[in-house]
DNA sequence: GCCGTTTTCGGCCCGACTGTTTTCAGTCG
């Protein structure tokens, strides 16, 4: 998607202006535009072609000047201001400010004083010990820069939410052993259930913060202490992940949790709203002059600002404040609303457990149904089943269903969408299924119009109930295939096909922004784990979180329905 | 550079920690 390239350019303009000590609000304007463009779900070129500059300016953070620059990029694939700024600095210079602890001021100083043009130059200078001779520099600063370079090299980027969850649980478990720790909560992107996580943010309330700080910085998984103060510490863990801890007073819990949950843009908007009301918000509370008027719990803070409570998943710094002002934040779906799981695999294709084992595990989760959706024949690498094998599995399901009480196994299949848009099984076979999932598993590298037509053709099949992992992305591994998501959603809406929210932490597909627009189009979802083993049935929570980030309620999701209503919904397309 | 149920001009979040400084700048959350 072109938006990513455009966002990157504006971010670079911001960085370059920072090096030149430009106006910091102008810099922030470029940063804001970059972030909003990056997270925008429609292609800017499409918007421009349809609605011109005015269309672009509808985007938050995009005004006349930036809209013109977007236009420039669409026409010429580059932006002059960006090119001109780049020319003022050596190639590779921007990488310097990516080093933790190095900001624009330090980078420029080293550039001017020591002619440092790149990270390689910097490494050499550090090795020779040249930095500590500069005014304002001593041994420690040089050492920190050296460590910063090492850290940058080791850092693995962003983590899957499941990985971060595991690390966080381990840290929290140990903090819970401290009797000095009052409340302990995960905060930051992990509490917002963002699809990837940069670091682990933890909030503790305590009357004696020093003891908590000491313990945290001495945990066995801590490799390095980046900073340690009275209310805040940062460490690097053995797995190279960063963890930030804030420790505040118990009566500051609400405002502290709100601050530390973010996101940053949401915080800024909250604080701006407070200013308009003659108030001030910080992690220490909501203040009117010197008087604290809220902060014990989050709800108190929202109340005092005239806002409905905003669940963490919605705190994205977008339109959630406006919606909360109007009292229109919906009651989001919860894990306990889920009554069944509509995508999983068994030993009949590439799953590790039998149908019976999957059913029993699901029943123990409190579900009243599952669908077994093994792969179709073309999926050779995933041991796709032939028609004969499929019906053998269905016989097995009939026998199990006869014995299971208050639980039903649905006969399903995850059928491949072949490159021409036809399906891997004929309608004669599909009509024997209770639920049919269609998915793209091969031929990813197709031009957008072909891929879009391919998928739409599949959605038009009256037996296809659910489009599985609709964009095909694998987080940190594989980009989505090139499909026009809007056209796909339109087809889903026209044909009464449901969209999957795949709960696997590597997929999370559809993702939040797409879920949101699909919901606005009236599309219903199936949140499914795509499990290949019983334990993965536990991934449902990640799918529900993604659904919540897309503003969905219980009514938007078909696997919250009791079995009779679900079956009716599934058969209604035929 | 963006934005507007008090504004089309004049605001733009607020605070912690470090290293270096003798009062604060830089970086980060
Ligand atoms: N008010 C305010 N709050 C901030 C700022 N930067 C960070 N925060 C708050 C909101 C963030 O969600 C929270 C944790 O900061 P992080 O840098 O860890 O960001 P976050 O966890 O949101 O994303 P991440 O996945 O770690 O990149 O601290 C800021 O500049 N101003
Ligand atoms: Mg974080
Ligand atoms: Mg953090
Ligand atoms: Zn699949």
Q: What is the pLDDT confidence band of residue A146, given thresholds at 50, 70 and 90?
A: very high
> Crossing angle of helices A64-76/A2-19, nearest 10°?
120
The pLDDT score that the predictor gives to residue A148 is 96
- Any ligand 1 atom below 6 A from CB of A317: no
Sequential DSSP letters for A354-375: -HHHHHHHHHHTT-SEEEE--B
- Any ligand 1 atom below 6 A from CB of A358: no
The pLDDT score that the predictor gives to residue A133 is 87
Q: What's the CA gap between A283 and A272, in Å, rounded? A: 14
Looking at the CA of residue A190, tell me the nearest atom of ligand 1: 21
pLDDT digits over A83-95, tens only? 999 999 999 999 9
The pLDDT of A477-488, averaged and rounded, is: 96
For ligand 1, atom 6, name the residue with the nearest CA: A264
The pLDDT score that the predictor gives to residue A378 is 79
Q: What is the pLDDT confidence band of residue A160, given thresholds at 50, 70 and 90?
A: very high
Residues with CB under 5 A from ligand 4 (ion): A 439
pLDDT digits over A176-188, tens only? 999 999 999 999 9
Q: Do domains A2-87 and A253-325 have the same CATH topology?
A: no
Cα–ligand 2 centroid distance for A60 (angstroms) = 24
Residues 6+ apart with CB under 8 A from A564: none
Percentage of chain A exceeding pLDDT 70: 100
Q: What's the CA gap between A459 and A461, in Å, rounded? A: 5
The pLDDT of A84-108, averaged and rounded, is: 96
Query: A240 CA, B15 C1': separation in Å?
Result: 26
Provide CATH code, domain A93-155: 1.10.150.20
Task: Look up tokens 């010197």; give the residue.
Answer: A290
The pLDDT score that the predictor gives to residue A466 is 98
The pLDDT score that the predictor gives to residue A182 is 96
- Any ligand 1 atom below 6 A from CB of A159: no
Q: What is the pLDDT confidence band of residue A156, given thresholds at 50, 70 and 90?
A: confident
Cα–ligand 1 centroid distance for A313 (angstroms) = 14
Long-range contacts of A287-295 (CB under 8 A, 24+ apart): A294/A254, A294/A255, A295/A251, A295/A252, A295/A253, A295/A254, A295/A255, A295/A256
pLDDT digits over A299-336, tens only? 999 999 999 999 999 999 999 999 999 999 999 999 99
Q: Is the CB of A227 under 7 A from strand B?
A: yes
What's the CA dihedral at A71, A77, A82, A87 to 10 degrees?
A: -150
Phi, psi (rounded to 5 degrees) for A435: -145, 130
The pLDDT score that the predictor gives to residue A382 is 74
With H, G, I as helix, E, B as strand and everything else as coil, classify residue A241.
coil
Q: What is the 3-state secondary structure (H, E, C) of A419-456?
A: CCCCECCCHHHHCCCCEEEEECCCCCCCCHHHHHHHHH
**Ligand lying closest to the C-alpha of residue A35:** 1
Average pLDDT across chain A, whole number: 96
CATH architecture of structural domain A335-571 = Alpha-Beta Barrel (3.20)
CA dihedral for A393, A397, A400, A403, sign (positive or negative): negative
The token duo for A56 is: 């672009």
**Burial profile A366-379: b = 16 or more Cβ within 10 angstroms, e = fewer:** ebebbbbbbbbbbb
In A 60-79, which Cβ lie closer than 7 Å to strand B? 60-67
Q: What's the CA gap between A269 and A282, in Å, rounded? A: 12
pLDDT digits over A381-429, tens only? 777 888 899 999 999 999 999 999 899 999 999 999 999 999 999 999 9
Q: Which helix (H) or strand (E) holds A341?
A: strand A340-341
Domain A253-325: top CATH class: alpha beta
For ligand 1, atom 28, name the residue with the nearest CA: A260
pLDDT at A48 over 90: yes
**Range with lowest mean pLDDT among A144-153, A225-234, A371-380, A416-425:** A371-380
User: Is the domain covering A159-248 a CATH 3.30.460.10 domain?
Assistant: yes
Residues 6+ apart with CB under 8 A from A70: A6, A37, A44, A48, A56, A62
Cα–ligand 4 centroid distance for A373 (angstroms) = 9
Sequential DSSP letters for A271-330: HHHHHHTT-EEETTEEEETTEEEE-SSHHHHHHHTT-----GGG-SSSSHHHHHHTT---
The pLDDT score that the predictor gives to residue A385 is 84
Q: What is the 3-state secondary structure (H, E, C) of A522-561?
A: CCCEEEECCECCHHHHHHHHHHHHHHHHCCCCHHHEHHHC
pLDDT at A379 over 80: no
Q: Which helix (H) or strand (E) holds A26?
A: helix A24-38
pLDDT at A380 over 90: no
Residue A245, strand partner residues? A202, A233
Cα A20 to its chain centre, rounded Å, is 33
The pLDDT of A330-351, averaged and rounded, is: 96
Phi, psi (rounded to 5 degrees) for A263: -75, 180
The pLDDT score that the predictor gives to residue A310 is 98
The pLDDT score that the predictor gives to residue A84 is 97
Q: What's the CA gap between A326 and A329, in Å, rounded? A: 8
Phi, psi (rounded to 5 degrees) for A423: -105, 160
Query: A228 CA, B17 C1': separation in Å?
Result: 7
Query: A61 CA, B4 C1': separation in Å?
Result: 14
The pLDDT of A532-550, averaged and rounded, is: 98
Burial class (CB in 10 A: 0-12, 13-18, 19+), A9: buried
Ligand 1 test: best mutation among A197, A202, A242, A263, most atoms within 8 Å of CB? A263
Q: What's the CA gap between A468 and A461, in Å, rounded? A: 14
The pLDDT score that the predictor gives to residue A531 is 98
The pLDDT score that the predictor gives to residue A7 is 97
Cα–ligand 1 centroid distance for A270 (angstroms) = 14
Cα–ligand 3 centroid distance for A189 (angstroms) = 8
The pLDDT score that the predictor gives to residue A390 is 93
The pLDDT of A523-530, averaged and rounded, is: 98
The pLDDT of A560-566, averaged and rounded, is: 98
Domain A2-87: top CATH class: mainly alpha
Domain boundaries defined on chain A: 2-87, 93-155, 159-248, 253-325, 335-571
* Other CB atoms within 10 Å distance of the CB of residue A141: 15
pTM for this predicted structure: 0.96
């Amino acid at each position: 998607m072109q938006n990513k390239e455009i966002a990157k350019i504006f971010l670079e303009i911001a960085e370059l202006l920072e090096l030149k000590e430009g106006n910091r609000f102008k810099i922030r304007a470029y940063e804001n535009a970059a972030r909003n463009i990056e997270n925008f779900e429609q292609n800017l070129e499409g918007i421009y072609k349809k609605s011109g500059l005015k269309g672009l300016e509808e985007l938050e953070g995009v005004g006349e000047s930036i809209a013109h620059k977007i236009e420039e990029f669409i026409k010429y694939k580059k932006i002059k201001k960006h090119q001109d700024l780049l020319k003022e600095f050596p190639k590779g210079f921007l990488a310097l400010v990516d080093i933790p602890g190095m900001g624009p001021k330090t980078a420029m100083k080293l550039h001017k004083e020591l002619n440092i043009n790149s990270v390689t130059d910097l490494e050499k200078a550090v090795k020779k010990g040249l930095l500590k001779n500069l005014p304002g520099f001593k041994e420690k600063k040089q050492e920190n820069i050296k460590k910063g370079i090492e850290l940058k090299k080791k850092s693995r980027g962003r983590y899957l939410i499941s990985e971060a969850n595991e690390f966080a649980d381990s840290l929290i478990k140990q903090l819970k052993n401290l009797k000095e720790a009052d409340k302990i909560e995960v905060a930051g992107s992990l509490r917002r259930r963002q699809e990837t996580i940069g670091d682990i943010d933890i909030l503790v309330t305590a009357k004696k913060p020093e003891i908590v700080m000491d313990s945290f910085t001495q945990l066995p998984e801590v490799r390095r202490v980046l900073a340690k103060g009275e209310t805040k510490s940062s460490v690097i863990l053995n797995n190279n992940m960063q963890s930030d801890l804030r420790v505040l007073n118990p009566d500051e819990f609400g405002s502290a949790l709100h601050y530390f949950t973010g996101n940053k843009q949401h915080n800024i908007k909250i604080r701006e709203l407070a200013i308009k009301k003659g108030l001030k918000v910080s992690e220490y509370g909501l203040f009117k002059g010197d008087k604290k008027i809220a902060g014990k719990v989050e709800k108190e803070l929202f109340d005092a600002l005239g806002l409905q409570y905003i669940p963490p998943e919605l705190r994205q710094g977008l339109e959630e404040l406006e919606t909360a002002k109007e009292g229109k934040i919906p009651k989001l779906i919860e894990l306990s609303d889920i009554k069944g799981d509509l995508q999983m695999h068994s030993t009949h294709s590439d799953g590790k457990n039998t149908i019976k084992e999957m059913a029993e595990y699901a029943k123990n989760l409190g579900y009243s149904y599952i669908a077994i959706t093994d792969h179709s024949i073309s999926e050779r690498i995933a041991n796709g089943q032939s028609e004969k094998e499929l019906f053998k599995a269905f016989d097995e399901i009939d026998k199990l269903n006869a014995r299971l009480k208050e639980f039903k196994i649905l006969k399903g299949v995850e059928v491949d969408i072949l490159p021409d848009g036809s399906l891997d099984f004929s309608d004669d076979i599909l009509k024997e299924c209770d639920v049919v999932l269609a998915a793209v598993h091969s031929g990813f590298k197709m031009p957008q119009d072909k891929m879009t037509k391919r998928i739409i053709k599949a959605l038009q099949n009256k037996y296809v109930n659910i489009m599985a992992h609709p964009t095909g992305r694998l987080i940190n591994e594989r980009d989505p295939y090139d499909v026009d998501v809007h056209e796909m959603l339109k087809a889903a809406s026209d044909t009464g096909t449901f969209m999957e929210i795949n709960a696997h932490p590597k997929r999370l597909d559809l993702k939040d922004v797409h879920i949101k627009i699909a919901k606005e189009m009236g599309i219903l979802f199936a949140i499914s784990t795509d499990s290949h083993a019983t334990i993965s049935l536990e991934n449902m929570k990640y799918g529900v979180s993604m659904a919540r980030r897309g503003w969905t309620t219980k009514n938007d999701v078909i696997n919250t329905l009791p079995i009779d209503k679900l079956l009716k919904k599934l058969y209604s397309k035929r």
